Amino acid sequence: MSPINFKQRFEFAKTLINQAGDLAMGYYRNLGSLNIQSKGLQDMASQADLETEELIKARIAESFPEDAFFGEETGGFSPPADQGMWVVDPIDGTACFIAGVPMWCVSIAFVVNEKIEFGLIYDPIHDELFSAMRGGGAHLNGKPITTSDTTSLTNGRMCVGFSHRSTADQIVPVFDALLKAGGMYVSYGTGALGLVYVACGRLIGYYEPHINSWDCYGAIAIIREAGGHTCHAEANNGLIDGCEIIATAPGITDEFAALLAASKNAA
Ligand code: LIP
């Protein structure tokens, strides 16, 4: 197998994610046309999700037929060793999207041997493209970004995500501990956007008891290159099973880790 050209795929993905965002925006501007399907409690999808993913999948297959694909809507499988794989959420923040809340994005990541090589997050509403290649720094619309320089949970906001894949007992103690520590939080319904807001310093951290790989891999690549700390989301079959996600600005990594551990012990 010839060496994988990451740079070529990364540049290809910058164009592709914009095309996918344009397609999704067409549906977003015509929400009345959506056929919404329930995937579970508070978990929905529409043809916008599926057709956006199908566009991404088809363009990748045309340009890189040797690559594997793993998407929220069409699934996939763990590839053999050394085979590259695209991990895609066509619309992250689907609940917001179908409700007309302007907080959603397209997420694309590329993984080889359980290592995230690059990630891109495109928010068409605000025309913001977050991107990073491993070793190449993190960027927002081509300009370098870095995480917040805060050194305290009392200086800045955490983003906290939740889905009914988890239980109230897993999240309520975290809110309790965070607020008692003088912290503050926001919650968007899109893990990918919340995570990249940590990468560019708008937020100081992200926590969610369980998140899927397609929701977070793209943003994780960007946070790591922006100087942030992330959990090892790829470990323990994270691609298939998802993970508990922790991402922080470096100055609060230890403080939040201690708070999270204490909240679990108190539960
Ligand atoms: C969403 C995630 C978010 C989670 C939501 C949902 P989707 O992804 O980004 O972190 O809390 O329940 O899973 O379903 O909008 O692609």
What would the pLDDT profile of 69-120 be if each residue is shown by its tens digit?
999 999 998 889 999 999 999 999 999 999 999 999 999 999 999 999 999 9
Is 1 part of a structural domain of the chain? no
Is 149 part of a structural domain of the chain? no
Q: What pLDDT band is residue 41 in, cutting at 50, 70 and 90?
A: confident
Is 178 part of a structural domain of the chain? yes
Q: What pLDDT band is residue 1 in, cutting at 50, 70 and 90?
A: low
Task: Count how many domains the chain has.
Answer: 2
Residues 42 and 121 in one domain: yes
Task: Choose which residue among 108, 211, 216, 220 to substitute to test ligand 1 binding: the one with the highest number of ligand atoms within 8 A of its C-beta.
Answer: 211
Residues 29 and 140 in one domain: yes
Atom index in ligand 1 nearest the CA of residue 192 equals: 9
Q: What is the CATH number of the domain that holds 65?
A: 3.30.540.10
Residues 73 and 34 in one domain: yes
Task: Choose which residue among 49, 89, 92, 164 to substitute to test ligand 1 binding: the one with the highest number of ligand atoms within 8 A of its C-beta.
Answer: 92
Residues 15 and 138 in one domain: yes
| 103 ligand 1 Cβ < 6 A | no
Nearest CA to ligand 1 atom 16: 92
Q: What is the CATH number of the domain that holds 250?
A: 3.40.190.80
CA distances from residue 211 to 19, 20, 89, 119, 247 in whole angstroms, order as listed: 26, 22, 12, 16, 12
Q: What percent of the chain has pLDDT over 90?
A: 93
Task: Choose which residue among 206, 208, 212 to substitute to test ligand 1 binding: the one with the highest number of ligand atoms within 8 A of its C-beta.
Answer: 212
Among 120, 144, 168, the domain boundary falls at 144
Answer yes or no: pTM beyond 0.85.
Answer: yes
Q: What is the mean pLDDT of residues 2-12?
A: 95
Q: What pLDDT band is residue 2 in, cutting at 50, 70 and 90?
A: confident
Q: What pLDDT band is residue 6 in, cutting at 50, 70 and 90?
A: very high
Residues 115 and 186 in one domain: no
Is 151 part of a structural domain of the chain? no
Residues 165 and 114 in one domain: no
Q: Which range of residues forms the domain containing residue 71?
A: 6-144
| 93 ligand 1 Cβ < 6 A | yes
Residues 112 and 164 in one domain: no
Q: Quick one: how far is CA 96 from the chain centroid?
A: 15
Residues 55 and 174 in one domain: no
What would the pLDDT profile of 156-211 be if each residue is shown by its tens digit?
999 999 999 999 999 999 999 999 999 999 999 999 999 999 999 999 999 999 99
Task: Using alpha carbons only, give the angle 178, 183, 185 rounded to the nearest 5 degrees.
Answer: 85
Residues 202 and 136 in one domain: no
Report whether pLDDT(242) > 70. yes
Q: How many helices (H) and strands (E) does the chain have?
A: 8, 14
